[in-house]
Amino acid sequence: MVPDPDAALLLAFQRGDESAFRTLFERHARSMVAFCHHFVRDQARAEELAQDVFLKLHQAAPRYQPSARFQTFLYRIASNHCLNELRRGEHQARRAAGADGEPAEPDALPGHGATPEEAARGAALERAVARMLAGLPEKQRLALVLCRFQGLSYEEIAGVLETTVPAVKSLVHRATVAAAEALAPWAPGEERRS
């Protein structure tokens, strides 16, 4: 088994090395914010949730066993935290778009050279992706986000969701089919009809 440098850092933190935890935070903060953003669709709240995840990681660190990869451990904490946030229902109305109706992720829009039509299409596509994600069942959404947006393997996702690899493959497949159906109007060559 290839050594997990992040696991080594968490073990160093268990032994009292505070700088090891800071290093983990610096390595994973951006990906945690991005992960949380897929659930609450609000940048400021995603940043708060990511901070909460690291607080929970800090508290859970003494229980960490290196039998699980650090990334699996971290995403399990993040997944549970984000699902709890959704279950509280605090962001049901805001998760598909920003509070002002603008796309939730302006960085995903076309660049400076985009025409107004391209920019509008990009914004509408971003909202469609957000609605599609919001409409998926919890486990399908988690599996899809972890696989397609966070780049985890099926084995890693199985560890995060505490399930089997075949179950993860099924969840990702069902979510992908649902996404393809929901986003079919956005396929290349298709014109968006209002």
Last residue of a domain, one of 67, 95, 123: 95
pLDDT value of position 56? 96
pLDDT value of position 191? 52
pLDDT value of position 188? 72
Render pLDDT for 157-167 as a digit per residue (tens, 0 to 9): 999 999 999 99
Give the range of the structural domain holding residue 30, as residue numbers without chain letter: 1-95
Distance CA 162, CA 84 (A): 17
Mean pLDDT by 10 residues, the chain (194 residues): 83 95 96 92 92 96 87 93 81 43 42 71 79 88 92 93 95 92 76 47
Distance CA 105, CA 98 (A): 8
Question: Do 81 and 12 sit in the same domain of this protein?
Answer: yes
| Residue 123 maps to a domain | no
Which residues have a Cβ under 8 Å from the Cβ of 127 and sit 6 or more positions away? 96, 97, 103, 104
pLDDT value of position 192? 46
Last residue of a domain, one of 41, 64, 95: 95
Q: Give the count of domains, the chain.
A: 2
Whether this prediction's pTM lies above 0.85 is answered by: no
Distance CA 125, CA 31 (A): 22
Ramachandran area for residue 162 (φ above 0: left; ψ -120 to 50: alpha; else beta): left
pLDDT value of position 32? 96
Question: Do 70 and 140 sit in the same domain of this protein?
Answer: no
Q: Tokens for 114?
A: 């985009």
Given the structure tokens 């508290």, which residue do they identify? Answer: 59
| Residue 37 maps to a domain | yes
What spatial distance separates the first Cα and last Cα of the chain, rounded to whole Å? 53
Q: Concatenated DSSP letters for 6-55? A: HHHHHHHHHTT-HHHHHHHHHHHHHHHHHHHHHHH--HHHHHHHHHHHHH
